[in-house]
Amino acid sequence: MDATYDAVVVGSGPNGLAAAIAMQQAGLSVLLLEGKKELGGGLRTAELTLPGFRHDICSAIHPLAVASPFFRTLSLAQYGLNFITPPVAAAHPFDDGTAVAAVHSLAETARQLGPDADAYQCLLAPLLARWPQLVPEALAPLHIPKHPLDLARFGLSALQPATLLAKRFQGEKAKGLFAGMAAHAIQPLNNVATSAIGLVLLLAAHSQGWPLAQGGSQAIADALAAHFRALGGHIETDTYVRSLAQLPAARAVLLDVTPAQLLEIAGHRLSSLYQWQLRRYRYGMGAFKIDWALAEPIPWTAPECAQAGTVHLGGTLAEIAAGEQATARGQHPNQPYVLLAQQSPFDPSRAPAGKHTAWAYCHVPNGSPCDMTAAIEAQVERFAPGFRERILGRHTFNPAQMEAYNPNYVGGDINGGLLDIKQLFTRPVLRASPYRTSAQGLYLCSSSTPPGGGVHGMCGYWAARRALRDVWGLAASPLYRGE
């Protein structure tokens, strides 16, 4: 690292990679540093259980990656990235052996909801018609919207607690489907704005589906890195940054880290007020994750589940809401809400011939040491009797192990911090720009900034855009015509 660069980006998660690409596209000389030997942050794939079984270590299903306004400006297929879209984006099974399948067709999904078919379509159809215009607005920091009426229509529903918006429905199927979507918010469903993630995920399901990356999520990171290198960017791995003193001279430094690591790396450069604000930043619930090597596919009772890349296990709205509320209070529900991904039925490269992989996690109190293996597997068995008999091997991550693997997962928080209404637009602190720190030339580009967690790269893009304007008076590549 003896060379001098215009900008240095620390961390190669999707946001760090996006920031590096955006800076390099502007004609700068950019160095990207990664603490591990492998690139990717939350986009890594490895043989965690048995030889030949490839598991996504963190993120697995990628509706926001294909919806991302920034990623859509890149031609990543030329670097070997291929997305596979299961016929069912997400399935939600119930104890009576039935399931609701969120498929591409809004009308087909609605038909499964019986008396709530019209209510479901009335809620989503107007938003789906304007989805291309909504995505850039929703995946952005606070701004003057280019489509204010569209954003207002979305906001009227999105800002409601999920438990309140679900009252539009009469039956348990529609309520359960929405609860499973909204629980991706990783907070109690009676919190304000928990409907936002549920609506975004349903709109993604009905627009482009919920794809997975062929070969593993690592393929997304590898394609982004290849694109960055093709632009002339430089990457150094196995370089864990603990202090700004380790970095070469640069006019701008962008950190793909959360406030805890920002304080460690750059605390001496930050104002006392900014440090105080960062210390008040709140992290959310953690995650306990399991990867399985399976002898056969999961034996779901409801056939719709076999066609889904993602399955939400939790039953009714009441059960899911109660479990998430209990977890937020520091408890461990006996029947936790479980998010399960099954990639191998759609991507045979994930396992040896005839064998399969699956991935699941539940929410737990931040930093919890509790082993949730039995509880998670019981939830799978509840909707797929005989599941345990097909397990050849398993690998678990508790919150402490997740944080040890990736320090950005503080206490097992995979969202970069609690994404409630208090930190939705003011993450990590309340400032004119959430990406600027108090130190000149130092920026934050992680999921601890708007729009938050998910594989979309938009936090990195917006941070790079801010740095380009502040330091060089340059504009980043536009996301869409007319920008």
Is 80 exceeded by the pLDDT of residue 29? yes
- Give the total number of structural domains in the chain: 2
Contact 127, 203 (CB under 8 A): yes
Q: Please report whether residue 138 resides in a domain.
A: yes
Q: Please report whether residue 479 resides in a domain.
A: no
Asked if 370 and 419 sit in the same domain, the reply is: no
Tokens coding 49:
């259980």
Q: Provide the CA 274 distance to its chain's centre, in angstroms.
A: 27
Asked if 360 and 388 sit in the same domain, the reply is: yes
Is 60 exceeded by the pLDDT of residue 482? no
For the segment 168-173, the average pLDDT, to the nearest whole number, is 97
Percent share of the chain, pLDDT over 70: 99
User: What is the number of residues in the chain?
Assistant: 483
Contact 337, 355 (CB under 8 A): no
Asked if 277 and 290 sit in the same domain, the reply is: no
- Last-in-domain residue among 405, 435, 459: 405
Gap between the Cα atoms of 467 and 462, Å rounded = 9
Percent share of the chain, pLDDT over 90: 92
Asked if 316 and 459 sit in the same domain, the reply is: no
- pLDDT single digits (tens) 298-318: 999 999 999 999 999 999 999
- pLDDT single digits (tens) 124-151: 999 999 999 999 888 989 887 888 888 8
Q: Give residue 430's domain range.
A: 7-81+213-281+411-472
Q: What is the CATH number of the domain that holds 329?
A: 3.90.660
What's the whole-number average pLDDT of the chain? 96
Q: How confident is the model at residue 478 (pLDDT cuts 50, 70, 90)?
A: confident
For the segment 17-22, the average pLDDT, to the nearest whole number, is 98
- pLDDT single digits (tens) 260-307: 999 999 999 999 999 999 999 999 999 999 999 999 999 999 999 999
Residue 444: how many CA atoms within 13 Å on its side-chain side? 32
| pTM as predicted | 0.96
Look at residues 422, 371, 429 and name the one whose alpha carbon lies nearest to residue 396.
Answer: 371
Q: What's the pLDDT at 1?
A: 59
Q: Please report whether residue 142 resides in a domain.
A: yes
**Which residue type does 82 have?**
N
- Last-in-domain residue among 382, 405, 428: 405
Read off the DSSP letter of residue 411: G
For the segment 158-177, the average pLDDT, to the nearest whole number, is 97
Q: What's the pLDDT at 146?
A: 82
Asked if 222 and 334 sit in the same domain, the reply is: no
Q: Please report whether residue 380 resides in a domain.
A: yes
Between residues 477 and 344, which one has the greater pLDDT? 344
Q: Which residues of 417-451 are buried (b: 16+ CB within 10 A; e: fewer)?
A: bbbbeebbebbbbeeebbbbbbeebbbbbbbbbbb
Q: What is the CATH number of the domain that holds 52?
A: 3.50.50.60
Residue 447: how many CA atoms within 13 Å on its side-chain side? 23
